[in-house]
Chain A
Amino acid sequence: MLNKAKGIPVVEMHDITVKFPGVIANDNVSIDLYPGEVLALLGENGAGKTTLMNVLYGLYRPDEGEIRIRGETAYISNPNDAIRLGIGMVHQHFMLIPPFTVAENIVLGVEPVNSYGRLDMDKAVRDVEELSNQYGLIVDPHAKIEDISVGMQQRVEILKALYRGADVLILDEPTAVLTPQEVDELAEIMRSLVDQGKSIIFITHKLQEVIAISDRVTVLKQGKCVGTKETQNTTVEELAQMMVGREVVLSVEKQEAKVGETVLRVDNLHAKGPRNLPALRGVSFHVNAGEIVGIAGVEGNGQKELVETLTGLRKATSGHIYVDGIDIVNSQPRTLIEQGVAHIPEDRQNRGLILDFTVAENFIMRNYYKPPFARGINLDYGTIHTHAKQLISEFDIRTPHENVPVRSLSGGNQQKVIVARELSSEPRLLVASQPTRGLDVGAIEFVHKRLVEQRDKGKAILLISLELDEIMSLSDRILVIYEGQIVGEMTAREATERELGLLMAGGRSKQGLDAERSAVNVQHR
């Protein structure tokens, strides 16, 4: 391994601050990258990793801060500037044009032309072949992007950056959509790139990858830099704590659960995720009345698909979902609502609310068609408004009245509208997905209290959260999901953050992980 202490950093970002309306996405963040190393940028979704890299690539302009490239101050105001400085970026959502060929995608923007000004695709193909041999990134230059695998597409993205002479590569969540084999191949590719003198920043929220691939790791949390570690001198546990810990420790007061009969039973559920890859691979569990079951896991391990399948928004490929003993797998959303399944969706603005509807109208989204809100085909606005006023006061929603568009409410109050609506439907089962994401402390506490209240009223609650401490403080039982499977189950009392962290990272136990890690390290050297 190279000695990082020597030489000037190829990239230095000092005290970068990026503000979006209402939010500070990066708050005085500093990182540096030395030649020939892999720096992992670790953090949860929304921690500001991608924003920081978009700044480096010239897609965002920082409000404050300085960037130095090879020791010299650089002003990067668009991707062209970044490309000129030898920076290449592979975006999480690939920036490839599906009906174009591999070669066309790679040369776009810096196309070779012959002496008549005609696009010289023969030369493009030759260049691509040469480059792909040099770095061992085998691709077929003539294939169309829409016809090749995701792993292959990622190679094209990397070649695209190399073709532009990049020696600093930014990889944004490169493993998010890859199969395990493709992940291994990517690790291989990254090593070979570093061997040829390239430097790599790679964004991830997967701890195991940090350990396996990086030389150093910088952890971001809520837009701030938590710290930088040499990968050799850190552990998964330490990183997990840096990454997930909330500044305010939230404790939830709750009684012992009075568990009733089984409300939800999921049996060997399979479903597909993005790009038709299997996302759920035989999930089985149950939730009883009067208990909160938390699903812990790192993002992208099938949580989204699980929630959607449970609520009728995604088709299961096989398996069963029983609510109160009735198999409701692949039913329409309305059937599930009728069965008493309430759903606090993860994406509240795109799915949970109709932003241009009023608060009152949003309250009836899931049951507008039946009494007391509808009489025949007519909506009963009297009842709708009374209902709205009642929920507004009961859930302490701050709005001038029930007739303002929900768009004009703050994020916390928007979420309260959803929570109020879903809880007021007196469900049998509540599926709560990331119910406190992006909320302030007050709103978080409020939502937590309500969930516990519902539990005590005998509802079955399934909580899906990326926040480990939320899972631990709210749940009665905890399940861990990893790569579309439930890999562990324990009661909240016996669960420790360490144990959960290990399971979330795909380790079966402490010993197993250690073995794996030393194996990886051996390989690495």
Chain B
Amino acid sequence: METGNLADVTIYIALVVSTLRMATPLILAGLGGVFSERSGVVNIALEGIMLISAFMGMLISYYTEAPWLGVLSAVASGVLVALILAVACVRYKSNQVVVGTAINIFSLGFTGFMLRKVFEHAGQSPPVTKVADWTIPLIHKIPVIGPMIGKHTPFVYIAIVAAVISNHVLFETKLGLRIRAVGEHPKAAETVGVDVFAIRYLCVLLSGALAGLAGASLSLGFLSQFRENMTGGRGFIALAAMIFGKWTPYGTLGACILFGFADALQILSQTLGLTFIPRDFLLMAPYILTMAALAGVIGRSVPPAASGVPYERQK
């Protein structure tokens, strides 16, 4: 490919494909963050949950050669790890950030330990069967559009659909109304008979399931193996995207695509002739944008009022 040939359509195809690739795990984890924080629990353990799930998904696929079973177990382990967060923070009112940090430390140790224990090998797992790509009938035949969006790993489509469903649940169902109420003013919710603890448990576990899916997308979708610390901070970018997206599913979706696009530009900067922007600044962009949004420089992001505050029941 010629450097800097912006008339070449393959560049744009590569850009879109790369954007979706980078955005997908962020979208899934970010939606997890939305549910958790909307119910009032800060989940900085997304990173760790993703990592453990990526490992468990790989492991089951390795043993069974059934990648979808791997995906299922990734989701299950995501829920299981999230259960630790839920019990410690909802039931026992521990500091949510500390417990999240502990889970992140644990995930690095656990996956590294298991990698050596199972494969007697550090760094990465052997290749496993990954989930086969999906081809969208008809669409994949359209020129330009087809190669862009017609054939991807299922996780790409799952992520988009998950955003649509999340938005529906959060804003168009009574469960969603209750979740948002609990995250804003748990006591008010309880006085009208909403079970604050049940809602928070549900949301944290759901957040674990989505982060688990995000983990599976890494080891069974885009790659077909587990690598040590393969999440590489994606859990935190997802958190940033959730904030930048103002704690809404579509906002998060948009922010993830934006951040994914920045990442894709960075990857393709040579090809695109974008060398005048240092790649590092493209990598930094999500974090700087998020800080700016929090500080109110670009449309202030305000978290759910009760986010991070353990709920204390009355006598």
A residues near B, CB below 8 A? 20, 54, 57, 59-61, 78-80, 83, 89, 91, 94-100, 104, 107-111, 113, 117-119, 160, 164
Task: Contact check, A59 vs B314: say whether CB atoms are below 8 A apart.
Answer: yes
- Secondary structure at chain B's binding surface: helix, strand, loop or mixed? helix
Nearest Cβ in chain A — how far from B40, in angstroms? 12
Nearest Cβ in chain A — how far from B164, in angstroms? 14
Task: Contact check, A54 vs B185: say whether CB atoms are below 8 A apart.
Answer: no
What is the CA–CA distance of A164 and B174 in the complex, to the nearest angstrom? Answer: 16
Nearest Cβ in chain A — how far from B190, in angstroms? 7
Mask, B180-204, CB within 8 Å of A = 1, is 1100110111111110000000000
Task: Contact check, A108 vs B173: say whether CB atoms are below 8 A apart.
Answer: no
Task: Contact check, A95 vs B177: say whether CB atoms are below 8 A apart.
Answer: no
Task: Contact check, A98 vs B305: say whether CB atoms are below 8 A apart.
Answer: yes
A residues less than 8 Å from B174 (CB atoms): 111, 113, 119
Task: Contact check, A96 vs B173: say whether CB atoms are below 8 A apart.
Answer: no
Nearest Cβ in chain B — how far from A329, in angstroms? 31
B residues less than 8 Å from A59 (CB atoms): 191, 314-315
Task: Contact check, B185 vs A95: say whether CB atoms are below 8 A apart.
Answer: yes
Please indicate which of the listed interface residues B184, B189, B315 has the most CB atoms of chain A within 10 Å of its own CB. B315
Task: Contact check, B315 vs A104: say whether CB atoms are below 8 A apart.
Answer: no
Task: Contact check, B189 vs A108: say whether CB atoms are below 8 A apart.
Answer: yes
Cβ of B172 within 8 Å of any chain A Cβ, yes or no, is yes
Task: Contact check, A108 vs B192: say whether CB atoms are below 8 A apart.
Answer: yes
Contact of A100 among B181, B190, B191, B194 (CB under 8 A): B181
Nearest Cβ in chain A — how far from B95, in angstroms? 17
Nearest Cβ in chain B — how far from A109, in angstroms? 4
B residues near A, CB below 8 A? 172-174, 176-178, 180-181, 184-185, 187-194, 305, 314-315
Closest 9 CB pairs of A and B: A109-B192, A95-B188, A111-B174, A80-B193, A95-B191, A97-B184, A97-B185, A109-B193, A60-B315
Knowing A54-B314, A60-B315, A118-B173 are in contact, say whether A108-B194 is a contact too (CB < 8 A): yes
Name which residue of chain A comes closest to B314, CB basis. Answer: A59
Nearest Cβ in chain A — how far from B199, in angstroms? 11
What is the CA–CA distance of A83 and B190 in the complex, to the nearest angstrom? Answer: 12
Query: What are 15 A-B contacts with C-beta separation under 8 Å?
Result: A54-B314, A79-B190, A79-B191, A79-B192, A83-B192, A83-B193, A95-B187, A97-B188, A97-B189, A98-B184, A98-B305, A100-B177, A100-B184, A113-B173, A119-B173
What is the CA–CA distance of A360 and B26 in the complex, to the nearest angstrom? Answer: 52
What is the CA–CA distance of A79 and B180 in the complex, to the nearest angstrom? Answer: 20
Task: Contact check, A100 vs B173: say whether CB atoms are below 8 A apart.
Answer: no
Contact of B315 among A20, A107, A110 (CB under 8 A): A20
A residues less than 8 Å from B178 (CB atoms): 108-109
Please indicate which of the listed interface residues B174, B178, B194 has the most CB atoms of chain A within 10 Å of its own CB. B174
What is the CA–CA distance of A107 and B173 in the complex, to the nearest angstrom? Answer: 12
A-B contact number at CB 8 A = 70
Knowing A95-B192, A98-B184, A108-B194 are in contact, say whether A119-B305 is a contact too (CB < 8 A): no
Name which residue of chain B comes closest to A78, CB basis. Answer: B193
A residues less than 8 Å from B314 (CB atoms): 54, 59-60
B residues less than 8 Å from A107 (CB atoms): 177
What is the CA–CA distance of A97 and B40 in the complex, to the nearest angstrom? Answer: 14
Name which residue of chain A comes closest to B193, CB basis. Answer: A80
Name which residue of chain A comes closest to B176, CB basis. Answer: A119
Knowing A95-B185, A95-B187, A96-B188 are in contact, say whether A119-B177 is a contact too (CB < 8 A): yes
Nearest Cβ in chain A — how far from B195, in angstroms? 9
Nearest Cβ in chain A — how far from B297, in angstroms? 22
- Secondary structure at chain A's binding surface: helix, strand, loop or mixed? loop
Task: Contact check, B315 vs A108: say whether CB atoms are below 8 A apart.
Answer: no
Task: Contact check, A91 vs B191: say whether CB atoms are below 8 A apart.
Answer: yes
Nearest Cβ in chain A — how far from B187, in angstroms? 6
Please indicate which of the listed interface residues B174, B185, B190, B192 has the most CB atoms of chain A within 10 Å of its own CB. B192
What is the CA–CA distance of A97 and B188 in the complex, to the nearest angstrom? Answer: 7
Knowing A20-B315, A98-B305 are in contact, say whether A160-B192 is a contact too (CB < 8 A): yes
Task: Contact check, A111 vs B191: say whether CB atoms are below 8 A apart.
Answer: no
Name which residue of chain A comes closest to B171, CB basis. Answer: A119
What is the CA–CA distance of A96 and B188 in the complex, to the nearest angstrom? Answer: 6
A residues less than 8 Å from B189 (CB atoms): 97, 108-109
B residues less than 8 Å from A109 (CB atoms): 178, 189, 192-194
Knowing A61-B315, A104-B177 are in contact, say whether A119-B172 is a contact too (CB < 8 A): yes
B residues less than 8 Å from A95 (CB atoms): 185, 187-188, 191-192
What is the CA–CA distance of A59 and B314 in the complex, to the nearest angstrom? Answer: 7
Nearest Cβ in chain A — how far from B171, in angstroms? 8
B residues less than 8 Å from A96 (CB atoms): 185, 188
Task: Contact check, B315 vs A100: say whether CB atoms are below 8 A apart.
Answer: no
B residues less than 8 Å from A99 (CB atoms): 184
Nearest Cβ in chain B — how far from A104, in angstroms? 6
B residues less than 8 Å from A91 (CB atoms): 191
B residues less than 8 Å from A57 (CB atoms): 191
B residues less than 8 Å from A97 (CB atoms): 180-181, 184-185, 188-189
Nearest Cβ in chain A — how far from B279, in angstroms? 39
What is the CA–CA distance of A66 and B314 in the complex, to the nearest angstrom? Answer: 20
A residues less than 8 Å from B173 (CB atoms): 113, 117-119
Name which residue of chain A comes closest to B306, CB basis. Answer: A97
Nearest Cβ in chain A — how far from B305, in angstroms? 7
What is the CA–CA distance of A61 and B177 in the complex, to the nearest angstrom? Answer: 28
What is the CA–CA distance of A97 and B315 in the complex, to the nearest angstrom? Answer: 23
What is the CA–CA distance of A195 and B192 in the complex, to the nearest angstrom? Answer: 26
A residues less than 8 Å from B188 (CB atoms): 94-97, 108
What is the CA–CA distance of A164 and B173 in the complex, to the nearest angstrom? Answer: 19
B residues less than 8 Å from A98 (CB atoms): 184-185, 305
Task: Contact check, A79 vs B193: say whether CB atoms are below 8 A apart.
Answer: yes
Nearest Cβ in chain A — how far from B48, in angstroms? 31
B residues less than 8 Å from A54 (CB atoms): 314
B residues less than 8 Å from A113 (CB atoms): 173-174
Nearest Cβ in chain A — how far from B223, in angstroms? 38
Task: Contact check, B177 vs A89: say whether CB atoms are below 8 A apart.
Answer: no
What is the CA–CA distance of A100 and B304 in the complex, to the nearest angstrom? Answer: 12
A residues less than 8 Å from B187 (CB atoms): 95
What is the CA–CA distance of A91 and B192 in the complex, to the nearest angstrom? Answer: 12
A residues less than 8 Å from B193 (CB atoms): 78-80, 83, 109
Known contacts A59-B314, A94-B188, A117-B173, then 13 further A-B pairs from the complex at CB < 8 Å, ordered by chain A residue:
A61-B315, A79-B190, A95-B191, A97-B188, A100-B184, A108-B181, A108-B188, A109-B178, A111-B174, A113-B174, A118-B172, A118-B173, A119-B172
